Structure 1
Amino acid sequence: MKAVCWHGRRDMRVDNVDDPKIEDPRDAIIRITATAICGSDLHLYNGVMPTMEAGDVVGHEPMGEVVEVGSAITNLMKGDRVVVPFTLACGSCFFCNRDLFSLCDNSNRNAEKARQAIGQSPSGMLGYSHMMGGYAGGQAEYLRVPYADVGPVKVPDGIPDEQVLFLSDIFPTGYMAAENCGIEAGDTVAVWGCGPVAQFAIQSAWMLGAGRVIAIDRVENRLELARTKGKAETIHFENEDVQERLMEMTKGRGPDCCIDAVGAEAHSAGVVREFVDDAREAMHVPSNHPYALAEAILCCRKGGTVSIPGVYTAPLSGVPMHAAMNKGLTMKMGQTHMQHYMKPLLEKVIAGEIDPSFIITHRGTLDDAPSLYETFDARSDDCVKVVLTP
């Protein structure tokens, strides 16, 4: 089959690889009908995620049709349309029993690699490095889905793929980011970034009762999407001092809740900091940029909450923990507990409360993936979200 494979920094290729097979009674095989390039796939593309190996099949936002199931699978059958979550969960460990599915104790088959790197292992993830299990991803014609009795959600007939595809990751991720804020009616929520996860965090903040949403970015078409589809006020961080503007907008108090929806590859308006990071990356030294997170901490009101759905892949320097401590901030973060959110958010789509396809700007086939990775990474051609149909 065809699959998009990582071959090094900024080197994605479409390879012919072996078709997946049932390896465990709890497996299912699906034929991919739609898949997407995620912002966190750019961390792979840019070489900032460790433990990638040449030839790894990438992609963790897939959906499709079930073509085969293992002997233990009773919830799915051949022909079912399903959306597949990017986090894998056994459904019965200490963490799964508490709905903390992205912390599953049993689904990362390379848990020791993760323990060595970050102290303990999160769940396994599709198409996202050997530290996260070394599972083949979903930017392919077919996909093996482990723990298929726990993860995939069946999609009713009549709903287009593009309306439900993002239940695989970015819609639940944005929703959990907003929920982690503990939004109270009327709260002001500031969102750093206007990429795909940020756009869903904006939509979700309104769903959860925000009185005001402010979005921060420097890419004009993304700011425009936040204004038009997200009904957010916006700040262009290269044209305005973000902290000064937020203090002005909130009468000196600061936002009640701040969401870092950027993560490891944040940009800064500071030329010197950008120059240093560019120099490191030119020498292929992976670096995580704390600019958005640092600014969110400094801007958040005293006693407020900072939510972090943005992915980080290495230790950070330059994070103002002294400010977080002295301001009494609450910080909540983590990979998304997908299995907790997918069905309730599917109901919102079915009810017409949201059409997630608003985020799509680019479409292509698997063969187009290498060039579309380049476009997405450069934010060129007004690219916000890429969907691939094998």
Structure 2
Amino acid sequence: MTWQGAKDIRVETVLDPTIQDPADIVIRVTSSGLCGSDLHLYEVLAPFMEPGDVVGHEPMGIVEEVGASVSHLDVGDRVVIPFNISCGSCWMCGRGLQSQCETTQNRDYGTGASLLGYSKLYGQVPGGQAEYLRVPHADYGAIKVPKDHPDDRYLFLSDVLPTAWQAVEYADIPDGGTDGGTDGGTDGGTDGGTVLVVGAGPIGDMAARIALHRGHRVLVADLVPERLQRVVGRGGEAIDITDLGDASLADVVRERTDGRGADAVIDAVGMEAHGSGGIKAVHKLVGLLPDPIAEPLMQKAGTDRLEALLASFDAVRRGGTVSVVGVYGGAADPLPMMQMFDKQLTIRMGQANVRRWSDDILALLNRDDDVLGTEGFATHHLPLEEAPAAYETFQKKEDGAVKVVFKP
């Protein structure tokens, strides 16, 4: 899958990847996910893309070639590849901040670790929506997984699972909180604290599942009925934001939590939020400018659609935590600093540090029972040739598309 221009994704034949460094491996890709972050490349981050860039950052497959310094893998092994490329030995990696790896940081753009298939901002490394993939720093990054379950049991270890896991960790949901229960109490009872997940796309859906697995009360807000139905089916409480009437999302959340608000909020939407027509128009306009003009404009004066983030600040209780997992890219976003300060909020955010969480998640995935429902998580499995249409369908939230997996 190659990027050829804004909203122009095409299947092309390219040269097969080869070993370039002793720490590399080459895999034959068996499954590769379509991520909400890919939609940013599809349109918003076009100034940082070049025609022919291979996209995709959620791959897994079978090892075909092994570099000389890769000792834990053999040809034929089954591996999942983290979306961020980290060395495992630098100062940042040693502190569990693999998404800030100092070996693969992109200092020319002032960004963190390189990512598979994700623009000049993050290293312009060929991505995993392809038949074959070269994996840099595979001596540390590549995760060997068993062969006794379908791909979907492990595929989401590449991005969705660690991103959602970190979102829940960063949310710091208390064991007891504002539960809004029928007893009128506010100590959270035995159900743990309350978390509001804004957005029920793949990351929000999985974050809700993880929080439910940990015993928390989970409210999820979205506007797509199919997504909300999935949440309710796992035990969450749905809030349809198209059915709020004159109330705000925060009003509804406070009604359900004894007037206080959620103990924690996870913003799983980011810059793809609905409702900011003017900013969306600016994104499209900037995307039409020549790259030498558009790049610095996006880096220094870019703005995001902030509806989801602002709603998160409003809906969280005083002294609560907002965990931002939806991707933002603006450099000049206005924030309600008085509200944030007055409510004494804690805010945590950032790209997932995949290898920090992967061992804990893998232990959960290796259980006989499919605890988080990963094997039924994807809504669509498609050949790579159908990827261009799938991008459009996914962006428009049509055909019940919550998670798309390509089968090269």
Aligned position for 2:76: 79
Q: Secondary structure at the match of 1:191?
A: strand
d(CA) in 2 for partners of 1:114 and 1:220? 39
Aligned position for 2:212: 206
Return the match for 2:316 from 280, 300, 304. 300
Q: Secondary structure at the match of 1:199?
A: helix
Return the match for 1:239 from 235, 240, 243. 243
Identity of aligned residues (%): 42
**Cα deviations across residues 361-380 of structure 1 (Å, max 9, x unaligned)?**
11111111001111111111
Q: Secondary structure at the match of 1:368?
A: helix
Q: 1:188 to 1:112 in 2, by over 3 A?
A: same
Aligned position for 2:155: 165
d(CA) in 2 for partners of 1:203 and 1:316? 33
Shift of 1:112: 2.7
d(CA) in 2 for partners of 1:275 and 1:20? 41
Tell me which moved more, 167-176 or 349-358.
Answer: 349-358
Aligned position for 1:279: 281
Shift of 1:154: 0.9
**What letter is aligned with 2:108?**
K
Aligned ranges 1:293-372 → 2 under 5 Å: 293-351=309-367, 352=369, 353-372=371-390
Counterpart contact for 2:280–2:305, Cα < 8 Å: no
Counterpart contact for 2:117–2:124, Cα < 8 Å: yes
**What letter is aligned with 1:217?**
D
Counterpart contact for 1:193–1:215, Cα < 8 Å: yes
Counterpart contact for 1:58–1:139, Cα < 8 Å: yes
Q: 1:49 to 1:307 in 2, by over 3 A?
A: farther
d(CA) in 1 for partners of 2:88 and 2:44? 32
Shift of 1:49: 5.6
Q: Secondary structure at the match of 1:44?
A: helix
1:99 aligns with 2:96: yes
Aligned ranges 1:89-128 → 2 under 5 Å: 89-108=86-105, 111-115=106-110, 121-128=111-118
Q: 1:191 to 1:216 in 2, by over 3 A?
A: same
- TM-score normalised by length of structure 1: 0.93
Aligned position for 1:223: 228
Shift of 1:207: 2.8
Shift of 1:330: 0.6
Counterpart contact for 1:183–1:209, Cα < 8 Å: no
Counterpart contact for 2:159–2:354, Cα < 8 Å: yes
Q: Secondary structure at the match of 1:301?
A: strand
**What letter is aligned with 2:133?**
L
**What letter is aligned with 1:130?**
K
Aligned position for 1:271: none
Return the match for 1:182 from 163, 172, 195. 172
Tell me which moved more, 41-50 or 28-37.
Answer: 41-50
Shift of 1:278: 4.2
Counterpart contact for 2:212–2:236, Cα < 8 Å: no
List gaps (5 residues or longer) in structure 2: 176-191, 288-297
Shift of 1:260: 0.3
Shift of 1:284: 4.4
d(CA) in 1 for partners of 2:75 and 2:31? 17
Q: 1:104 to 1:281 in 2, by over 3 A?
A: closer
Shift of 1:282: 4.7
Shift of 1:355: 2.7
1:262 aligns with 2:269: yes
Shift of 1:204: 1.2
1:196 aligns with 2:214: no
- TM-score normalised by length of structure 2: 0.89
**What letter is aligned with 2:222?**
D
Aligned position for 2:135: 145
Aligned position for 2:26: 29
Counterpart contact for 1:263–1:309, Cα < 8 Å: yes
**What letter is aligned with 2:359?**
K
**What letter is aligned with 1:370?**
P
Counterpart contact for 1:254–1:300, Cα < 8 Å: yes
RMSD: 1.4
d(CA) in 1 for partners of 2:323 and 2:351? 12
Shift of 1:281: 4.1
Q: Secondary structure at the match of 1:354?
A: coil
d(CA) in 1 for partners of 2:46 and 2:83? 16
1:69 aligns with 2:66: yes
Alignment: residue pair count = 373
Shift of 1:321: 2.2
d(CA) in 1 for partners of 2:82 and 2:281? 36
Tell me which moved more, 17-26 or 44-53.
Answer: 44-53
**What letter is aligned with 1:203?**
R
Aligned position for 2:144: 154
Q: Secondary structure at the match of 1:375?
A: helix
d(CA) in 2 for partners of 1:50 and 1:310? 20
Q: Secondary structure at the match of 1:302?
A: strand
Counterpart contact for 1:164–1:349, Cα < 8 Å: yes
Counterpart contact for 2:262–2:315, Cα < 8 Å: yes
d(CA) in 2 for partners of 1:10 and 1:29? 29
Q: Secondary structure at the match of 1:325?
A: helix
Aligned position for 2:120: 130
Q: Secondary structure at the match of 1:136?
A: coil
Q: Secondary structure at the match of 1:180?
A: helix
Q: Secondary structure at the match of 2:12?
A: strand
Q: 1:74 to 1:24 in 2, by over 3 A?
A: same
d(CA) in 1 for partners of 2:59 and 2:332? 31
Shift of 1:114: 2.2
